[in-house]
């Protein structure tokens, strides 16, 4: 019967880079059921950061980027010999259970993430992450915008109003009403990155009888990302 498993050999080339993007399934309903704070719920974001960190430790990617309910994982050491079914199912499963383990409140319905594999070439890595970071920014403005409008109008009216506004109109509307997005925390506007960073450690060299410095890498969660540039990724790897 093994020959019936016709998709199990679908692979990406092992020497290539890929991005795996996870997205929470029906997290709009999850947010409603769990009464998450709007537009940003600190505890939900803490959990997503922990999931990203655990994914980093488990699959050793080059870079992870997360905002809202999505996580993009850039891998150069393609796991599972590049088998797509295996990568999508294991990594989505890992994220779902990590999310559940990290949540401090029990929920009644199981959560899940969908997962997709995106082959990527070096020259497109910046474009990909810039695309997702622009989405994080749009999400931030819209999130604050709809939250403000719903405090003034009915839900239907607020939705109707926001649909007629561009991003700069929403920015202006918020500003006129005392909400300055410049003062909002960077992670809400630009998302969160996880990557390896070098740290200098001072040790004592017994043979030479003197202190000596060396570098050790550690997993860094960056809540103060810059606006992505090509240089950011050139410095990273």
Question: By the criterion CB under 6 A, which residues form the site for ligand GDP?
Answer: 23-28, 31, 36-38, 40-41, 44-45, 68-69
Q: Binder to Mg ion among 12, 20, 22, 27 (CB under 5 A)?
A: 27
Q: Is 23 in the site for Mg ion (CB under 5 A)?
A: yes
**Residue 155 binds which entry of Mg ion, ligand GDP, none, CB below 5-8 Å type-dependent:** none
Using the minimum distance from each CB to ligand GDP, give the nearer residue, 36 or 236.
36
Contact 140, 189 (CB under 8 A): yes
Q: Alpha helix locations (H) across 60-124?
A: 84-102
Q: Is 233 in the site for Mg ion (CB under 5 A)?
A: no
**Residue 41 binds which entry of ligand GDP, Mg ion, none, CB below 5-8 Å type-dependent:** ligand GDP
Query: What is the rounded CA–CA span in Å between residue 153 and residue 194?
Result: 39
**Other Cβ atoms within 10 Å of 26 Cβ, number:** 13
Query: What is the rounded CA–CA span in Å between residue 226 and residue 188?
Result: 12
Using the minimum distance from each CB to ligand GDP, give the nearer residue, 54 or 69.
69
Give every CB contact of residue 144 below 8 A, 6+ residues apart in sequence.
39, 170, 174, 179, 181, 184
Selection from 50, 162, 174 nearest residue 100 by Cα: 50
Using the minimum distance from each CB to ligand GDP, give the nearer residue, 36 or 221.
36
Residues lying near Mg ion in the complex (CB under 5 A): 23-24, 27, 69
């Amino acid at each position: 019967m093994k020959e019936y498993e016709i998709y199990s050999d679908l692979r990406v080339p092992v020497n290539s880079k890929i991005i795996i993007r996870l997205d929470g399934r029906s997290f709009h309903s999850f947010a409603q059921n769990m009464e998450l704070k709007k537009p940003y719920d600190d505890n939900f974001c803490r959990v997503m950061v922990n999931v990203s960190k655990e994914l980093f430790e488990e699959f050793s990617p080059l870079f992870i980027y997360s905002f809202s309910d999505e996580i993009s994982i850039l891998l150069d050491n393609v796991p599972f010999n590049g088998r797509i079914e295996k990568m999508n199912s294991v990594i989505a499963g890992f994220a779902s259970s990590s999310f559940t383990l990290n949540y401090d409140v029990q929920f009644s319905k199981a959560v899940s993430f969908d997962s997709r594999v995106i082959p990527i070439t070096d020259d497109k890595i910046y474009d990909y992450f810039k695309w997702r970071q622009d989405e994080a920014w749009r999400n931030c403005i819209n999130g604050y915008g709809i939250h403000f409008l719903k405090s003034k109008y009915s839900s239907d009216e607020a939705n109707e109003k926001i649909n007629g506004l561009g991003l700069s109109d929403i920015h202006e509307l918020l500003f006129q009403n005392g909400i300055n997005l410049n003062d909002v925390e960077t992670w809400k506007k630009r998302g969160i990155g996880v990557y390896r960073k070098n740290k200098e450690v001072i040790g004592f060299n017994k043979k030479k009888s003197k202190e000596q410095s060396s570098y050790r890498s550690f997993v860094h969660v960056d809540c103060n990302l810059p606006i992505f540039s090509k240089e950011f990724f050139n410095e990273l790897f």
